[in-house]
């Protein structure tokens, strides 16, 4: 006789999306096993006024509401959040478009949140959920697929079985490979340089983005006070050059590329870098398995929507499984296929926009056309509002 699975769901990966999914499933009264290679998050918060995490997220209003529903948004310290009230986007030949939260009827277009603070809040939501068991640190060794369950074998000899296994373990997902999904991320041949800076002039909630022709895309995101976080998606050669600079030299390069929009810059903490890639899968589900977040799709960071797509995956998967509770099986193929169908259109639309823009600004012959299009779109309020809506929700 087959042993009953230990849990309704197994979530592999305890980043923001995995933590949010585990908490959401627990709120829907599913039993959850959360597995991660690293020890349980023990984020202690900031240790000083200039201690700012170099990794930040632009959390949309829709994602903020999702996080509020699972009790995480309320746990974020208000003094570590910065609203994006205006998004000032500039082309490489006079094109410009400005998005306003006021025009959209929103308090903010997005909220800039540090990785450390977001994970700390989500970890508290997980710990208070009551029906989540954490296996961490735990190294996955293999996974077997029974008719009624997925059984994960851990390197220390333990085994965890669940009706459905969910991969929230990043763009190089172990679970995706273990399930035989062989699609690999396509490199953009760009590297993101990420760093924080103190600024001479107040940003007043304004974010900036410059399309820099052959130098990639540079974004400045507001942090609380006179501080910003930057993401420079640069071609590999330029990225290597930027990564080798000391703090004053990097600040000078970022200041110059950003047209001195906020006066002088002074680097806070170390810069980090990571390669950029695109990932589209034929399917994000298989027998007793689903993928969420970066394990399911990769997008260019120029729109800042990666984590929001992941939260959308988590919210949709939990909602579909809860709606299908009468089936008595959260791993039923019918429910997983329904999740895949519901997420296909929004993910494809965001990939089309971000990948298309990235390619558009790599084509010198289209320089005049793309800037003219940006100016035309920026001149009409209804067009601006229409373009902003997918990112808000």
Closest CA to 308 of 16, 10, 9: 16
CA distance 121 to 315: 17
Cα angle 43-44-47, degrees, rounded to a multiple of 5: 125
Find the DSSP H helices in the chain.
16-27, 61-69, 101-104, 115-129, 174-178, 236-243, 247-257, 306-323, 333-360, 367-378, 381-392
Is there a domain that residue 2 lies in? Answer: no
What is the bridge-based pairing of β-strands 206-211 and 265-280?
A: unpaired
Reading the chain (393 residues) residue by residue, the pLDDT tens digits are 356 789 999 999 999 999 999 999 999 999 999 999 988 755 445 545 568 999 999 999 999 999 999 999 999 999 999 999 999 988 776 777 888 898 888 899 999 999 999 999 999 999 998 899 999 999 999 999 999 999 999 999 999 999 999 999 999 999 999 999 988 888 889 999 999 999 999 999 999 999 887 899 999 999 999 999 999 999 999 999 999 999 999 999 999 999 999 999 999 999 999 999 999 999 999 999 999 999 999 988 876 788 999 999 999 999 999 999 999 999 999 999 999 999 999 999 888 888 777 766 666 656 666 656 655 555 545 545 555 556 556
Residue-range definition of the domain harbouring residue 134 = 7-41+51-392
Is there a domain that residue 46 lies in? Answer: no
Is there a domain that residue 1 lies in? Answer: no
Closest CA to 166 of 132, 121, 192: 132
CATH number of the domain encompassing residue 155: 3.50.50.60
Is there a domain that residue 279 lies in? Answer: yes
Q: Work out the burial of residue 141: count CB atoms within 10 Å of its CB; fewer than 13 is exposed, 13-18 middle, 19 or more buried.
A: middle
Look up residue 269 and give its two tokens. Answer: 């903490």
216 in Cβ contact with 238 (< 8 Å)? yes
Look up residue 309 and give its two tokens. Answer: 């797509």
Is there a domain that residue 214 lies in? Answer: yes
* pLDDT of amino acid 134: 95
3-state secondary structure 139-207: CEEEEEECCCCEEEEECCCCEEEEEEEEECCCCCCHHHHHCCCCCCCEEEEEEEEEEEEEECCCCCCEE
84 in Cβ contact with 109 (< 8 Å)? yes
Compute how many other C-beta atoms are within 10 angstroms of the C-beta atom of residue 363.
10
| pTM to 2 decimal places | 0.92
Is there a domain that residue 337 lies in? Answer: yes
Count: domains in the chain: 1
Is there a domain that residue 130 lies in? Answer: yes
- List the beta bridge partners of residue 289: 165, 286
Is there a domain that residue 388 lies in? Answer: yes
């Amino acid at each position: 006789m087959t042993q009953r699975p230990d849990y309704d769901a197994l979530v592999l990966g305890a980043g923001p999306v995995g933590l949010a999914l585990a908490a959401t499933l627990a709120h829907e009264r599913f039993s959850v096993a959360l597995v991660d290679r690293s020890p349980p998050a023990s984020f202690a918060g900031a240790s000083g006024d200039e201690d700012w995490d170099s990794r930040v997220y632009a959390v949309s209003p829709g994602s903020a509401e999702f996080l509020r529903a699972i009790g995480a948004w309320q746990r974020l310290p208000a003094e570590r959040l910065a609203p994006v009230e205006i998004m000032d986007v500039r082309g490489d030949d006079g094109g410009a478009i400005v998005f306003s939260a006021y025009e959209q009827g929103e308090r903010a277009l997005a909220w800039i949140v540090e990785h450390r603070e977001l994970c700390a809040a989500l970890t508290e939501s997980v710990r208070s959920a009551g029906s989540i068991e954490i296996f961490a640190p735990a190294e996955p060794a293999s996974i077997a697929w029974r008719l009624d369950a997925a059984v994960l074998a851990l390197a220390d000899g333990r085994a965890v079985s669940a009706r459905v296994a969910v991969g929230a373990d990043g763009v190089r997902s172990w679970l995706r490979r273990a399930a035989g999904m062989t699609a690999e991320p396509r490199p953009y041949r760009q590297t993101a340089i990420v760093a924080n800076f103190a600024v001479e002039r107040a940003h007043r909630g304004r974010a900036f983005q410059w399309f820099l022709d052959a130098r990639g895309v540079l974004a400045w995101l507001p942090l609380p006070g006179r501080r910003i976080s930057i993401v420079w998606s640069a071609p590999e050669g330029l990225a290597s050059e930027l990564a080798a600079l000391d703090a004053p030299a990097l600040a000078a390069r970022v200041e110059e590329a950003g047209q001195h929009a906020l006066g002088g810059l002074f680097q806070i903490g170390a810069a980090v870098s990571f390669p950029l890639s695109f990932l589209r899968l034929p399917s994000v589900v298989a027998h007793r398995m689903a993928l969420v977040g970066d394990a399911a799709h990769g997008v260019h960071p120029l729109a800042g929507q990666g984590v929001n797509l992941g939260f959308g995956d988590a919210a949709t998967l939990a909602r579909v499984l809860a709606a299908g509770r009468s089936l008595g099986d959260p791993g039923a193929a019918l429910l997983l296929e329904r999740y895949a169908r519901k997420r296909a259109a929004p993910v494809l639309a965001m990939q089309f926009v971000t990948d298309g823009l990235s390619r558009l600004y790599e084509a010198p012959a289209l320089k005049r056309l793309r800037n003219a299009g940006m100016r035309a779109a920026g001149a009409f309020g209804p067009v601006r509002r229409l373009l902003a809506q997918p990112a808000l929700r």
